[in-house]
Amino acid sequence: GNSVTQMEGPVTLSEEAFLTINCTYTATGYPSLFWYVQYPGEGLQLLLKATKADDKGSNKGFEATYRKETTSFHLEKGSVQVSDSAVYFCALTDRGSTLGRLYFGRGTQLTVWP
Amino acid sequence: NAGVTQTPKFQVLKTGQSMTLQCAQDMNHEYMSWYRQDPGMGLRLIHYSVGAGITDQGEVPNGYNVSRSTTEDFPLRLLSAAPSQTSVYFCASSSFRRGGASYGYTFGSGTRLTVV
């Protein structure tokens, strides 16, 4: 079946530190991969996506590369800011019979201190 | 503004009451879904729809009904509210390219429901 596993938090960093949040997946088909961000009290916003192997999604200084060989989609940012404090969710949608369903990881809480 | 609109934003129900959470999107998306978010549980799929007139169950469908009579609307009905349904509910919509690659889901701002 389809599933997403992401590193558990919370993650606490100082401003300008390097961020990595690990995400691995299991899929029966050929998935599209996403990172969503949820700021306190808000809904989920699409941060970046990749739809095929070796694609790199990027947005707001965040990057993630679709690695089919390691079934991974790790989120990175070179220099985090206090405003990046949020919960980050890795997710996938697959093709075929489960098309339309979005599978989430448990989420990783990131706190950035000034 | 284009997007997904959920109403109400907050709701308190008594055990046994019924209510409908509304969800509307104006992006002509084929796919719509309802999720609930609980502390430590992440987001869990309740029901989803791949088009008008077509719905299917997700991971936690018990106690909830849905229908999709139009492309735009996907209401979620709580039949007889229970304290275990206290949660934050999110509606989302998406479209897909030919071949199945996703454009990514757009989420509403959520409904915070408390059942007492």
pLDDT at B99: 67
Share of chain A above pLDDT 90, in %: 75
Residue bearing the bigger pLDDT, A40 or B99? A40
User: Which among A44, A94, A106 has the least Cβ separation from residue B107?
Assistant: A44
Share of chain A above pLDDT 70, in %: 96
pLDDT tens column, B35-83: 999 987 789 999 999 899 999 999 899 999 999 999 999 999 999 999 9
pLDDT tens column, A14-57: 999 999 999 999 998 788 999 999 998 888 999 999 988 999 99
pLDDT at A40: 87
Predicted confidence band at B1 (pLDDT cuts at 50, 70, 90)?
low
Average pLDDT, chain B: 92
pLDDT at B100: 64
pLDDT tens column, A102-114: 889 999 999 999 9
Looking at residues A81-109, what average pLDDT do you find?
Answer: 87
Residues of A with CB under 8 A from a CB of B: 29-30, 32, 34, 36, 42-46, 49, 51-52, 89, 93-96, 99-102, 104-107
What's the CA gap between A21 and A90, in Å, rounded? 9
Minimum CA–CA partner of B92 in chain A: A44
pLDDT at A97: 63
CB B17 within 8 A of CB B11: no
Contact A42 B100 (CB under 8 A): no
DSSP of A33-59: EEEEEE-TTS-EEEEEEE-STT-EEEE
| Residue of B105, B106, B112 to mutate, testing the A interface (most A Cβ within 10 Å of its Cβ) | B105
Q: What are phi and psi of A96, to 5 degrees?
A: 75, -140
Residues of B with CB under 8 A from a CB of A: 30-31, 33, 40-43, 45, 48-50, 58, 90, 92, 94, 96-97, 99-110
Looking at residues A82-94, what average pLDDT do you find?
Answer: 94
Average pLDDT, chain A: 92
Cα-based distances in Å from B28 to A10, B75, B78? 37, 16, 26
Contact B100 A52 (CB under 8 A): no
User: Which among A32, A43, A45 has the least Cβ separation from residue B101?
Assistant: A32
Contact A34 B104 (CB under 8 A): yes
